[in-house]
Structure 1
Amino acid sequence: MPDSTPTSSRKADHIRINLEEDVQSGLTTGLERYRFVHEALPEIDFEQIDCSVSVFGRRLNAPVLISSMTGGTDRAGMINRVLAEAAQQCRVAMGVGSQRAALEHSELRSSFQVRPYAPDTLLLANLGAVQLNYGYTVDDCKRAVEMIEADALILHLNSMQEAIQPEGDTRFAGLARKIEEVCRELTVPVVVKEVGWGISKRTARLLAEAGVAAIDVAGAGGTSWTQVEMYRLPTERQRRVAAAFRQWGIPTSESIAMVRQAAPDVLVFASGGLRDGVDIAKCIALGATLGGMAGPFLKAADRSVEEVVGTIEEVSREIRICMFGVGAVSLRALKETPLLREGKA
């Protein structure tokens, strides 16, 4: 499979940089400021705890999403297959990276086509929303979904990343109306996802009005894509511009609260700097339905399926232990669990 197209070359750079460089946001997720109220007498048995959830018609064993990462190169295809096998074994959700390269170069499709490895779990297709302003249509969105037999389509928003890229696509005017058209015409649910800077109240309202089924906040606190792009920039001046935005964005915990308030009828997926099951449990208690992680799974996938399965099982057990510690037998009960914020009674 050739890695020579501009988009594929960029994706190969992204994998290498994420695995080898420090691309952490200068902000934290804000989740560290929250703690659960421990119940010494939980009045439930650990074996009773059920952390399964249904999303878009698929039953998941845990509220875990392997967040969209990659595709379009040989290495990316291998990583996606490893992630898909692990997602199937553990029955958790998975999103693929942007499929733009595969829509433009059919020989790259196989790096995204993981449904044979994950026949029973929630699989999310992915395109950059801004491409709707560069000639992409509803039919292209349908092709992305059909390509991987997806249960839903992610349209990702990455305005800051595009602004930093020398080759970036920065025409974002009128995009809400085009997202609305995709939501109206597509036969599967549409998820709109940030990539690491969070979703504000204003944006959440626009997306709710457009008809999206879910919003993935992808808040600040994890990977900063301005920092990823910084390592690709050719001049010191360009790198200084990228470095200036290390602390840009809405922390994940704040973004969850904003979206829940502005779009109460839209599902919330939480991602952006989540590192373990305790973080995911906190996000569920704040109102999210799923918690997404990328970095920990990418590093595990670079080793083996077993490493990814082990990571998922570790995260899932941490979620269940959190639920036990607060006396929540189900995710619904966890959502009703009080969280204490540091400095507040």
Structure 2
Amino acid sequence: MGPSGDALVRRKDEHIDHVLAGKGQGAVASGLDMVRFVHNGLPEIDHDAIDTTATLLGRSLRSPFLISSMTGGPSRAVDINARLAEAAQALGIALAVGSQRVALESRADLGLSVDLRRRAPDAVILANLGAVQFVKGYGLDQARQAMEMIGADGLILHLNPLQEAVQVEGDRDWRGVGAAIAAICAAFPGRLVVKETGAGLSRDVARRLADMGVAALDVAGAGGTNWGLIEGARAAGGRAEAVVAPFSAWGVPTARAIAEAAAAAPGLTVIGSGGIRDGLDAARAIRLGAHVVGQAAGVLEAALVSTEAVVNHFEVLNAQLRLACFCTGSADLAALAQAPLLDDIRL
């Protein structure tokens, strides 16, 4: 028997509090600082004509950003999700909602309803469920319901074994998860994204997922929020906190995860996320092989303020990305992905 709806809601609210308090910051760097571009002092391009458009699940984005999954309890989630949807619409970027398990299993929709599609009629919106739930009773009906609930273009299945194993009420039996992912891929071709949640995707896992038929991979590498530490913080002073303490530096750093996913699955869209701080980090991620760049914790404070704060946040990131393009002589993101680097990268 899983946790009750009220317990799930409380847990989501606690997650937001601990992220804001910095409890999930691990001891591993994303590795993106290792990517150093050669400055082009004679770019021969028009800064204002730089093309930063991208595509995700066959849909066009005005800039290559994804507002990555985040959620909270009922005191904040409705406002957060509304602001993020409105900002995604205004910016022409993508939005991935937080886990919809609570919304499926209780009457608390946490702002996860068709209202999101009303607020963002043209944006790419991604639904989100935990992959492990598909060996705990979920099936195609729940996958379909999660997408229909918010009018989503696709579905994220998230992988969080570190978090689940540390979480007191977590799901620790992962037998059959791969087969369940493959079944969802077959049922919803071209619509499934699989993402890690802060510990990164290795080359081997990226290749396995590509062979299953996923449409995109979100590496969510180490260097951003460590959800094992978040669960340890929830159990402050308890056994879980002691168990997870040595795993502060656990995971595949974001830079390496992007490069390995791009090499292992060359035909798939790679979403680079995990410790993305600014538009220069976004440029670095694209140079390593990402097609879209995701950010969650970095925009959370803006999401707690207003839609305008979220829009301003991503406008700054896009301006920084364009500046990186200009100073490498890259007229578009395809050129940026080939821009020369100062040194060989040792990931």
TM-score (norm 1): 0.95
Instruction: Give the match for residue 157 of structure 1.
Output: 159
* Cα distance change of structure 1 residues 101 and 4 upon mapping to structure 2, 3 Å threshold: closer
Distance 2:313 2:62 in 1: 14
**Counterpart code for 1:135:** G
Distance 2:231 2:320 in 1: 33
Equivalent of 1:285 in 284, 287, 290: 287
1:333 CA drift (Å) = 1.1
Instruction: Give the match for residue 109 of structure 2.
Output: 108
Instruction: Give the match for residue 171 of structure 1.
Output: 173
Instruction: Give the match for residue 85 of structure 1.
Output: 86
Instruction: Give the match for residue 298 of structure 1.
Output: 300
Aligned residues: 342
Q: 1:39 aligned to 2:40? A: yes
Instruction: Give the match for residue 313 of structure 2.
Output: 311
Q: Which runs of 5+ in 1 are unaligned?
A: none
Distance 2:294 2:204 in 1: 23
CA contact (8 A) 2:5 2:105 kept: no
Q: Where does structure 1 differ by over 3 angstroms across 4 or more consecutive aligned residues?
A: 109-113, 234-237, 340-344
**Counterpart code for 1:15:** I
* Cα distance change of structure 1 residues 343 and 306 upon mapping to structure 2, 3 Å threshold: closer
Distance 2:284 2:153 in 1: 26
* Cα distance change of structure 1 residues 19 and 109 upon mapping to structure 2, 3 Å threshold: closer
Structure 1 vs Structure 2 CA RMSD: 1.7
Instruction: Give the match for residue 278 of structure 2.
Output: 276
**Counterpart code for 2:38:** V
1:72 CA drift (Å) = 5.5
Instruction: Give the match for residue 198 of structure 1.
Output: 200
Instruction: Give the match for residue 265 of structure 1.
Output: 267
Query: Residues 111-170 of structure 1, C-alpha deviation per residue, up to 9 Å, x if partnerless?
Result: 454111111111110000000110000111010011111011000000000000010011
Bigger drift between 235-244 and 307-316 goes to: 235-244
Q: Which runs of 5+ in 2 are unaligned?
A: none
* Cα distance change of structure 1 residues 343 and 301 upon mapping to structure 2, 3 Å threshold: closer
Distance 1:232 1:67 in 2: 22
1:17 CA drift (Å) = 1.2
Identity of aligned residues (%): 46
Q: Secondary structure at the match of 2:234?
A: coil
Distance 1:340 1:123 in 2: 37
Q: Secondary structure at the match of 1:124?
A: strand
TM-score (norm 2): 0.95
Instruction: Give the match for residue 231 of structure 1.
Output: 233
1:29 CA drift (Å) = 0.5
**Counterpart code for 2:248:** R
1:315 CA drift (Å) = 0.1
* Cα distance change of structure 1 residues 183 and 37 upon mapping to structure 2, 3 Å threshold: same
* Cα distance change of structure 1 residues 38 and 68 upon mapping to structure 2, 3 Å threshold: same
Equivalent of 1:124 in 121, 126, 139: 126
